[in-house]
Amino acid sequence: MSATVVVLIIQFILGPICLCIAVPYIGFPKASTRIDHPSRPWRIFYRIMLVGMCNFLSATVTFIAMIAVMGEIKDEGLSDISCALIMAILPIPLLVALYWFYARGMRMRDRESI
């Protein structure tokens, strides 16, 4: 199995699964029941799921924007490892922004309900 296929599986197969776990319904769940859970293992699990969800969303937006701007993406001359690294690295800036905004929204919802 090539590295590009592994990156695609992680981003576009595991991403929707993380999305279903991180957001069980529309909106922001409470941070105290998800990313700020009292139990450390559950807190780590939900944070990993949130990163997976944000990676999926940012990869989708990034690749759609690239295709819209560039048309057909030609990867001629690039090795498989180079293509996989580009696919893994390009969504990171938007991933960080989405994670920060979503975590902030969850914590704001927690503060409002107290």
List the chain domain ranges. Answer: 3-113
Alpha helices in 1-114 (DSSP H): 3-12, 14-22, 40-70, 80-89, 92-113
pLDDT along the chain (114 residues), means of 10: 86 91 80 88 93 93 87 76 87 94 89 73
Predicted confidence at residue 94, as pLDDT, reads 94
Predicted confidence at residue 114, as pLDDT, reads 57
Spatial distance between the Cα atoms of 107 and 24, rounded to a whole number of angstroms? 16
Predicted confidence at residue 41, as pLDDT, reads 94
- The count of other CB atoms within 10 Å of the CB of residue 99 is 19
What is residue 34's DSSP assignment?
T
pTM: 0.86
